Amino acid sequence: MARERADTTATTGLGLSRGTLLRAALAGGVLLAAVGGIAWLGGERKAAGPLETYRRLGSTAGAAALERDLRAQFPTGTPAAPLIRHLESQGFACSPQGAAWRCTHAAPGAETGRIWRAEVTIAVERETVSGVTARFSDAIR
């Protein structure tokens, strides 16, 4: 009777051969590099803020569009408090200025060293909205 020869390849404690572990490590490294590359290429995009659509329209058209949208959402005669809360939720800082509220927002401009400002003035009569005006500006810091 002939004696069978046993397989003499070394295995780890997991019962896997050294070549299998190397191939698994290589495949894991390639997968990690691919995921990292995709994340790096697509990672620069930041979420657009609530005012970004108005900002892209430019100083004149953006301010007019914001004013139009605010007047449609908060027409004359509606309470001023919900409009002020809405603007504050979009990053504006609002303060009373006599018979009006002045809400301002500042953000870094499109170019380095510039600052973009938005200002909304809410005319108030007996705690209700009587008018809304918006103005945008872009200045050097």
pLDDT at residue 22 in the model: 85
DSSP calls for 110-121: SSTTEEEEEEEE
Same domain membership, residue 38 and residue 60: no
Same domain membership, residue 23 and residue 73: no
| Digit-coded pLDDT (tens) for 113-127 | 788 899 999 999 999
CA 90 to chain centre: 12
| Digit-coded pLDDT (tens) for 55-67 | 889 889 999 999 9
Same domain membership, residue 90 and residue 39: no
Determine which of 6-15, 18-27, 29-38, 100-109 has the lowest per-residue pLDDT on average.
6-15
Following CA atoms 93, 99, 65, 76 in sequence, which dihedral angle do they give, to the nearest 10 degrees? 130
CATH number at residue 65: 3.30.160
2 belongs to a structural domain: no
Q: Which residues contact 80 (CB under 8 A, 6 or more apart)?
A: 101, 122, 124, 127, 128, 129
Into how many domains does the chain fold?
Answer: 2
Secondary structure element (H or E) that encloses residue 36, with its range: helix 18-42
Same domain membership, residue 56 and residue 39: no
CB 89 within 8 A of CB 49: no
Same domain membership, residue 39 and residue 56: no
Q: In the predicted model, is pLDDT for residue 45 greater than 70?
A: no
Q: What is the pTM of this model?
A: 0.64
Q: Whose CA is closest to 54, among 113, 121, 120, 102?
A: 120
19 belongs to a structural domain: yes
